[in-house]
Amino acid sequence: MKHWPPEFVSTLDERLGRGEHLALYGPRGSGKSAVLADLHTRLSRARVPCALSASTSSLDDITRALEQAYPWVQTLEVTRRAARSRLWWAADQRFGVLLLDHLSEVSNAMVGFLRRLHGRVVGVLSAVDVEDERGRRQMKSWRYGAFSVRMPLASPGQLRRLLHARCASLALPPHDEEQEHRLVNQARGRPGWIVQCTELERDARYWCAHGLLISVLCTDTEAAVRLRALDLLRPPTARATSTGPPG
């Protein structure tokens, strides 16, 4: 679901086009990965050298992303340091964009290399999971020269439309007004929460003779979104026999 406003998208496009480095921060499930995927699709269609790193926690992750963005650069038979030099040279000749999803930590080596890429060499957009002010302070402490951009949250109306669409596509029973209100409130502006919730709702464990076990569903959805570990919440028997809500 693309809930972000046009001015948000244009700001990212303009800043990345100038070779700036941006940190897109917000809670898990707010749509940061969707923004990066959308940018990757549009830049690829425009034939701009670009790459999307699904998870970024080391200099090697950044190097591999550059190798994807500049696949014509020979890096197989040289050291990783020499490979980065070749990739930097290629980027200096032809501007590109790196999209670094789930940036979880920044080492001194990463900071140094990202600074070399700054300024009309490579535009960089990093997605950082920030749940609270403590996480925001931790992100600031990295000091890797990126301008911070807050991920816009979805409105209650947008979340309701997403919930209705998901229920229709997954053949889930419609929620009553109280259930819908509770789910939208629990989502707190995060479309990914609604997506995860409706995925879990297909599991028969969340249903009983009286209907939907909404408190259990909300608790497990929050855990799945925060930990990105849905399989940890499902015992093997449930994973094997999950068939959706009782008919």
Has residue 203 been placed in a domain? Answer: yes
Q: Do residues 103 and 180 share a domain?
A: no
- Mark whether 161 and 138 lie in a shared domain: no
The residue-averaged pLDDT of 32-49 equals: 95
Quote helix, strand, coil % in the chain, to nearest 5: 55, 15, 35
Give the H or E element holding residue 23.
Answer: strand 21-26
Say if residue 11 is in the same domain as residue 117. Answer: yes
Domain extent for 165: 156-241
Is residue 61 classed as helix, strand or coil in its secondary structure? Answer: helix
* Residue 125 CA to its chain's centroid (Å): 11
Structural domains counted in the chain = 2
Task: Name the percent of the chain lying above pLDDT 70.
Answer: 91
- Tell me the per-residue pLDDT of 208-229, one tens digit each, with 9 for 90 and over: 998 999 999 999 999 999 876 4
Average pLDDT over residues 27-48: 95
* pLDDT at 245 (0 to 100): 63
| 247, part of any domain | no
Q: What is the mean pLDDT of the chain?
A: 89
Give a yes or no: residue 31 inside a domain.
yes
CATH number where 53 lies: 3.40.50.300
One domain for residues 192 and 136? no
E strand or H helix at 148: strand 147-150
Q: Is the pLDDT at 49 greater than 60, yes or no?
A: yes
Query: What does the pLDDT look like over 74-84, one tens digit per residue?
Result: 999 999 999 99
